[in-house]
Structure formats: structure tokens, C-alpha cells
Homo-oligomer: A and B are copies of this chain.
């Protein structure tokens, strides 16, 4: 049996991603991907069973990059407020690149959501986790004060507007109780003399 080459695997993923961005997922065939990397289709199938597997692997790489960037920021010596700015802006730019980097962003988002329905939730959870870490660090360092769990939640809602997903229908029904918590949080800030 032919030995699989990790470098070739990366080349396949890069070629597939490039095709998905330019022509959409539906219009991309395994034959075309194989040709782009200079492989026979038979060999391509040794690496990936089908197109779905390639998509899932691309998605995983996307998540891994997020995690790596988060760790890199957390490990720097910058003050926590600067870490927070840098982290959120980097996520903004990554999301924007995904959204605007392809005319097929909506199709890609839809396909990924079908194949890995929890992916968006996981991304959001990771983002909240990183923000919480940075805020806690800031409190320990005496840079931030009065940071509670609600603060993270309100912050997440306040920035959610800036992270739309291409072609996505409005999210799950928003809850009145959560809205009230957001309003109360702001009122609390404004009441502080």
C-alpha cells in the first residue's frame, strides 16, 4: 500500500480550498482537485474518501488556527487590554476574510453547517473561553476590576453584530430574559458614580 505523504495532504487541502473559494463546493470535483495537485484520482482517494472529508479537514484546520492564535496571544507579555483588542480584531479579520474572500461564502457556510453542525457553536465557545481567560488575567494583574460572568456575556452580545455569517438566516430566537440582563448590566454601569 502506498505511503501517505503529509506534505501532499496539505497540498490537497490547499488546492481544494482554493477551488471551493473560486468555484464553490458543488462545482468542484475530486478530479479537478487531483489534477491541481498532480495526482491521479485514485491516489487522491487514498488521502480522502470524498469531498465531505476534505471539507471537514479544512474546517478542522480553521479551528486549529484559531486555537493556535489564541494561545499565542495569551502567552505574550502584553497587558490584558491590549491582548483583548488584538484577539478580537484578529477574529474580526479572519471572519471577514471568510465572508468576503469568496463569492461562494454562503454556499460554503451552509455546507460546513450541514456537515459539522456544531462548528459555529464551538467557534463561539472558544471565543468566549479566550475572552474570559484574558479578562481573568487582567483582573489578577490589577488592570481590570468588577469583571463578572455577565460582563463576558454582554460583551459577546455587543460584538456579535460584527461577526455575521454569510447567507445565515437570523440566529435562534433571541430570549427576552437575556435582553433584560443586558439592559440591566448597562444600567448598572451608568449608575456607578
Contacts and interface: CB of A to CB of B under 8 A. Distances in A.
29 contacts: A81-B187, A81-B190, A84-B183, A84-B187, A85-B183, A89-B180, A92-B176, A138-B190, A144-B187, A145-B190, A145-B193, A146-B192, A151-B186, A151-B190, A154-B158, A157-B161, A157-B162, A158-B186, A159-B179, A159-B183, A160-B160, A161-B171, A162-B174, A162-B182, A163-B174, A164-B171, A165-B170, A167-B169, A167-B170
A181 to B, nearest CB: 11
Given A164-B170, A170-B165, A145 B191 contact: yes
Contacts of A164: 170-171, 174
A155 B81 contact: no
The copy count of this chain in the complex is: 2
Q: Chain A interface mostly helix, strand, loop or mixed? A: helix
Nearest to A185: B158
A76 interface: no
Contact of A178 (B145, B162, B167, B179): B162
A182 B158 contact: yes
Interface of A: 81, 84-85, 88-89, 92-93, 96, 99-100, 135, 138, 143-147, 151, 154-155, 157-171, 173-174, 176, 178-180, 182-184, 186-187, 189-193
